[in-house]
């Protein structure tokens, strides 16, 4: 699973048919590919004008990677992503999403805004079913943090990823890759890194998050993603948690960007023609908080097998899980008891029931 290629979108460009309407219907696939590639290369700027939030990285074989550091709740980040893709005309666009969050790419802002604000029992049950009790609860608490920002700003998260998805579809032969580690793995590893009391303390902090946030705050945090900065403040005293949520994902994102930056094979007129390769151009769209880690890991030999493994639950996790289950069942039992007690009291207070009880008392006294 760790070595599998990330999911890619269709390579069919939106603007291809318009630009090639005059091309003969009898042209070969290889010639058509070459013509479209030439058009793409003409659009690609030799010295692109890039936003200040873009970091340029090179691979050993000459491929270029442009990492756009974004804030997940910023309009200017969306513009940075669009401008970068238009300027460099990439072969691959990689975003900080996994298959469990890919649905946000095709949902409109209004629906996403509604979804982010509505954290209900059904979502909690689904998260627990998908990730287990501990990881499911952690996921819902982190969603609460995101929902808090969403409610404060009136802006749905992930706008830069949706813009990247739209813009990539306009570039000929541009693939779209999901570059983040699967969220269940991240949460399970994060839970395993905490002691019982650390879990309680973190959950308490997340539950009572209520500080107001303005759009100015978001733009001030352009050099460090707002959501990740808030998380960093809360998990600062838990270095193991920071390692699993941030540092390990830095490694995973770096690995996926390097995989995407492998050289591209040019089309061949025949099987006998030798294979030719050209350096790739990649655009990565990630939270600003991950950019320093990607730069740090870029020239290292990376092995992601270790950070993809899920450790077995610790004794504290088992205790915490038991306590949660006992609390839930205890509350349910107490609720049933109270409802039953009130129901009996209500029935006994009815005139018909009192009359019936009085008759029973008279019959018993006669005997």
Amino acid 111: pLDDT = 72
Helix (H/G/I), strand (E/B), else coil: 273: coil
Contact assessment for residue 50 and residue 133, using Cβ atoms and an 8 Å cutoff: no
Strands 92-95 and 281-287: parallel
Q: Which two tokens stand for residue 344?
A: 């009996």
CA separation for the pair 283, 98 (Å, rounded): 17
Helix (H/G/I), strand (E/B), else coil: 93: strand
Beta-bridge partners for 186 = none
CA separation for the pair 136, 124 (Å, rounded): 7
Amino acid 6: pLDDT = 43
CA separation for the pair 132, 122 (Å, rounded): 15
Where do the domains of the chain lie? 44-312, 319-366
Amino acid 338: pLDDT = 62
Per-position b or e across 286-300, b if 16+ CB within 10 A of its CB: bbbbbbebbeebbee
Q: Give me the average pLDDT of each 10-residue run along the chain (367 residues).
A: 40 46 61 81 84 96 96 87 96 94 78 64 66 63 65 75 95 94 86 76 63 59 52 62 87 97 82 88 94 96 91 61 63 62 62 67 68
CA separation for the pair 58, 45 (Å, rounded): 17
- Going by C-alpha positions, the residue among 183, 9, 191, 192 that lies closest to residue 96 is 183
């Amino acid at each position: 699973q760790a070595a599998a290629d990330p999911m890619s979108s269709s390579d069919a460009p939106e603007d291809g048919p318009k630009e090639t309407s005059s091309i003969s219907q009898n042209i070969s696939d290889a010639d058509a590919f070459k013509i479209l590639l030439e058009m793409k290369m003409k659009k690609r700027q030799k010295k692109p004008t890039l936003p200040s939030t873009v970091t340029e990285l090179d691979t050993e074989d000459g491929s270029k990677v442009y990492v756009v550091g974004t804030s997940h709740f910023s309009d200017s980040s969306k513009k940075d992503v669009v401008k970068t893709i238009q300027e460099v005309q990439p072969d691959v666009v990689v975003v900080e999403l996994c298959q469990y969050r890919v649905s946000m790419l095709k949902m409109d802002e209004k629906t996403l805004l509604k979804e982010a604000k509505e954290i209900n029992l059904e979502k909690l049950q689904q998260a627990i079913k998908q990730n287990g009790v501990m990881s499911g609860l952690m996921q819902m608490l982190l969603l609460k943090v995101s929902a808090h920002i969403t409610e404060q700003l009136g802006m749905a998260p992930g706008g830069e990823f949706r813009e990247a998805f739209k813009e990539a579809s306009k570039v000929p032969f541009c693939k779209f890759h999901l570059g983040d580690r699967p969220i269940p793995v991240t949460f399970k590893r994060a839970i395993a890194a905490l002691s019982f009391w650390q879990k309680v303390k973190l959950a308490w902090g997340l539950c009572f998050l209520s500080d107001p946030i303005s759009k100015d705050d978001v733009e001030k945090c352009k050099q460090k993603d707002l959501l990740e900065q808030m998380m960093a403040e809360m998990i600062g005293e838990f270095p193991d948690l920071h390692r699993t949520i941030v540092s390990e994902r830095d490694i995973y994102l770096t690995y996926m960007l390097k995989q995407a930056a492998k050289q591209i094979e040019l089309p061949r007129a025949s099987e006998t023609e030798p294979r030719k390769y050209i350096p790739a151009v990649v655009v990565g769209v990630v939270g600003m908080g991950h950019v320093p880690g990607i730069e740090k890991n870029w020239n290292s030999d990376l092995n992601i097998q270790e950070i993809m493994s899920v450790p077995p639950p610790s004794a504290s996790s088992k205790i915490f899980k038991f306590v949660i289950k006992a609390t839930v069942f205890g509350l349910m039992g107490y609720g049933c008891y109270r409802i039953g007690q009130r129901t009996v009291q209500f029935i006994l207070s009815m005139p018909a029931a009192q009359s019936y009880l009085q008759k029973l008392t008279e019959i018993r006294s006669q005997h």
